[in-house]
Amino acid sequence: MKSFDAIVIGGGQAGPFLAARMVEKGMKVALIERKFLGGTCVNAGCMPTKTLVASARAAHVARSGAVYGVNIPGEIAIDMKVVRARAETVTMNARNGLIGWFAAMDGMTVIYGHARFEDPKTVSVNGETLTAPRIFLNVGARPVIPDLPGINDIDYLTSTSIIHLDTLPRHLTVIGGSYIGLEFAQMYRRFGAEVSVIEHGPKLASREDEDISDAIADVLRSEGIDIHTGVSDIAFSRSSDGITVATDSARIDASHVLIATGRKPNTDDLGLDAAGVVTDKHGYITVDDRLATNVDGIWALGDCNGHGAFTHTSYNDFEIAAANLLDGDDRKVSSRILAYALYIDPPLGRVGMTEKQARASGRKIMISTRPMSRVGRANERGETKGFMKVIADAETKKILGAAILGIEGDEVIHGIIDAMNAGTTYPALQWSVPIHPTVSELIPTLLGDLKPV
């Protein structure tokens, strides 16, 4: 049996950085990864997909050049092999960077294999037994495959496998109208494929307010994406030239099907029962406000704990654990203000409460909206789709939440994120003097238009 000061299971965005901090403190750490260092973000999520989004936007801008007086003769051609290779290069650079970083650390042992608990202090991997007083789980999540008629008779894609396509689908049908599915839908439409989106719920991006969901649908429809919502029945069958997707309202002749119906944690094969670690009904590991499980000496970080499915929340889990365990601090998950983005074009930046959540909270609230058509930067760039929206507490004057669907919305939202984390009241922001011409310069104007509801 090999002994360590700590064992980290999973090489995503929380565990490796915590492992590095512990090594800096002179600890002996084992990092166990069953596949690739970097987790979903580096290998099958943020980095490759946003690289693909960039390629898709380049194609869109090239096709739109005439509007700006830039005439490109002939058809804009897409070389999917180059597109794929570029995304793979970005991934490999990041992955190899992590490999080199850890290899240079004295005290760090990286083990590739599948770890399972033998007891609360012991795990087995590759026939070896490892023990440590502290064990951290950072095992991530994977795509959910729903039990739909005929699904096992077709060759479907997931968010993991679609990034390896090096040919253009004739007609991509996306099952699931949430964030992952919508990004791939617009991306492949811009590459030149016909695209359909099928969503069980009544709206796309159902976490958002209805006005945001409707605006997202308008953006996608304006680019020729076929959207079906409120679909209750879906079945698949092979056809002579692809896949037939039959719903209660349509029949689609697809060449490729992407299943984007959510993700589930990779916790079902860790031997958690042997350690006594408790999970909820969805398989997420139950943790307290400091990320500790019900078993002393075991923590869960990142997507597998159900407290955020984003790279930045996973990294913040590392920050919380490191601060509490290594720096004598007392940071809590409940102090985190959730923020995220949807990377369609234009992007959606979101922070805090939706209008629906704010109304349900019983607070007296104020709301302001502003169409992007009234933003100078948007008009100058010819990208006026979407709108800005902010919700505030009428009594405390604190900002409760915001949504910016529009050009550079994923960047502009950080002005609101910073203000909310600092506890700044909205009247204080009204007197800032932002730079012109930017999208952010409209934040004081947006706040000045807050009205009680």
By residue range, what is the domain housing residue 102?
2-142+264-335
**Amino acid 201: pLDDT:** 96
| Per-residue pLDDT tens digits of the chain, which is 453 residues long | 999 999 999 999 999 999 999 999 999 999 999 999 999 999 999 999 999 999 999 999 999 999 999 999 999 999 999 999 999 999 999 999 999 999 999 999 999 999 999 999 999 999 999 999 999 999 999 999 999 999 999 999 999 999 999 999 999 999 999 999 999 999 999 999 999 999 999 999 999 999 999 999 999 999 999 999 999 999 999 999 999 999 998 999 999 999 999 999 999 999 999 999 999 999 999 999 999 999 999 999 999 999 998 999 999 999 999 999 999 999 999 999 999 999 999 999 999 999 999 999 999 999 999 999 999 999 999 999 999 999 999 999 999 999 999 999 999 999 999 999 999 999 999 999 999 999 999 999 999 999 999
Same domain, 378 and 445: yes
Alpha-carbon distance of 190 to 57, in angstroms, equals 7
How far apart are the C-alpha atoms of 228 and 196, rounded to whole Å?
8
Same domain? For 34 and 173 the reply is no
Of 275, 307, 335, which residue is a domain's last? 335
Same domain, 80 and 195: no
**Residues 236 and 269 grouped into a single domain:** no
Q: Which amino acid is at 198?
A: I
Please report the pLDDT score of residue 413 as a whole number.
98
Query: Which helix (H) or strand (E) element contains residue 299?
Result: strand 298-300
Token code pair at residue 146:
């729903």
Amino acid at the residue 246: A
Domain identity same for 89 and 222: no
**How wide is the angle at C-alpha 240 spanned by C-alphas 239 and 245, nearest 5°?**
20
The SS3 assignment for 57 reads helix
Q: Which amino acid is at 10?
A: G
Q: Which long-range contacts (C-beta less than 8 Å, at least 24 apart) are formed by 121-127?
A: 121/297, 122/1, 123/7, 123/9, 123/32, 125/32
Query: Which CATH number characterizes residue 424's domain?
Result: 3.30.390.30
Transcribe 285-328 into DSSP letters.
Answer: BP--TTSB-SSTTEEE-GGGGTS--SHHHHHHHHHHHHHHHHS-
Please tell me the pTM assigned to this model: 0.96
Same domain, yes or no: 351 and 238: no
Considering the domain architecture, whether residues 237 and 122 belong to the same structural domain is answered as no
Q: How far apart are CA 195 and CA 187, in angstroms?
A: 10
CA-based torsion, 247, 250, 256, 259: positive or negative: negative
Any idea which residue has 């992955």 for tokens?
Answer: 95
Assign 127 to helix, strand or coil. Answer: coil
User: Do residue 22 and residue 79 come from a single domain?
Assistant: yes
The amino acid that residue 446 corresponds to is L
pLDDT at residue 249, as a whole number = 87
pLDDT of residue 104: 94
- Model confidence pLDDT, tens digit, residues 246-301: 999 899 999 999 999 999 999 999 999 999 999 999 999 999 999 999 999 999 99
Instruction: Please give the backbone phi and psi of residue 171, each rounded to the nearest 5 degrees, phi first.
Output: -145, 110
Which residues, including other chains, have CB under 8 Å from residue 64's CB and lie 6 or more apart? 382
Q: Would you please indicate which residues are annotated as catalytic (active-site) residues?
A: 436
Number of structural domains the chain divides into? 3
Q: Round to whole Å and give the CA distance between 84 and 105.
A: 32
Distance CA 392, CA 305 (A): 30
Does 290 lie in the same domain as 366?
no
- Three-state DSSP state, 60: helix
Quote the tokens at residue 208.
């958002």
> Of 273, 307, 335, which residue sits at a domain end?
335
Q: How far apart are the first and last CA of the chain?
A: 64
Give the Cα separation of 321 and 384 in Å (integer). Answer: 42
How far from 210 is each of 206, 355, 433, 444, CA to CA, in Å? Answer: 8, 9, 32, 25
402-436 in b/e form (b: 16+ CB < 10 A) is bbbbbbbbbebbebbbebbeeebebeebeeeeeee
Same domain for 236 and 283: no
Contact 157, 258 (CB under 8 A): yes
